[in-house]
A and B are shown apart, each in its own frame.
Chain A
């Protein structure tokens, strides 16, 4: 069985400070992992995806995520938050055609 837990429903950071959005997954075998971002009244946009080639994955807009098998985690980070990063973020685990979404983390960036 596969599942995703996003540990924080809301995160607030000041502009220019680091961002950490936490995600833990459960999977019975090697998963595919993704982070998506959703701006208000928009669809979901892929930020980054995990392949087995590298545990540190770089995505768009300066975001990164590190796959840690021992911790079953795939946390999303960014060194310096920008106002435009304010959005909803979803962690996703996949097996073929099945996609399991986390409940989302709302990121607020304070000027």
Chain B
């Protein structure tokens, strides 16, 4: 479907669990993003990595911890989440300095997270 894959596609976890979401992009991009999409709310940018350095952290609670070991992989580590963290978590990638200057994002299918 796209060059961005996310695993798992669905995750149910208790508030005391620790889990990780994985994103992988096969497009040779140098920037990756985590978004949170909750029902009836705008898409929320959580983290941005450019050239494996975190360039943005939108006041996200510390129970969410991102990791970008290389330009193709992005993780979101989850620890002691709350029920209101239940949402669709979307990963995206882009090329921040393409020759055309057009730098659209390519999205993965998302992980549907339910916190009990």
Residue positions of A touching B, CB distance < 8 A: 32, 34, 36, 41-46, 49, 51, 90, 92, 94, 96-97, 99, 101-104
Contact = CB atoms under 8 A, between A and B. Distances in A.
A67 to B, nearest CB: 13
Interface of B: 2, 4, 6, 31, 33, 42-43, 45, 48, 50, 55-56, 88, 90, 92, 94, 96, 100-110, 112
Contact of B110 (A34, A36, A42): A42
Main secondary structure of the interface of B (DSSP, over half): strand
Nearest to A94: B103
Nearest to A49: B104
Contact of A46 (B6, B42, B106, B110): B106
B103 A45 contact: no
Contact of B43 (A41, A45, A90): A90
A41 B96 contact: no
B107 A45 contact: yes
A48 to B, nearest CB: 10
Given A42-B110, A99-B45, A51 B100 contact: yes
Contacts of A43: 2, 4, 6, 90, 107-110
A41 B101 CA distance: 31
Contacts of A97: 31, 48, 50, 55-56, 94, 96, 103
Contacts of B33: 99
Contacts of A34: 104-105
A42 B109 contact: yes
Contacts of A99: 33, 45, 105
A51 B90 CA distance: 25
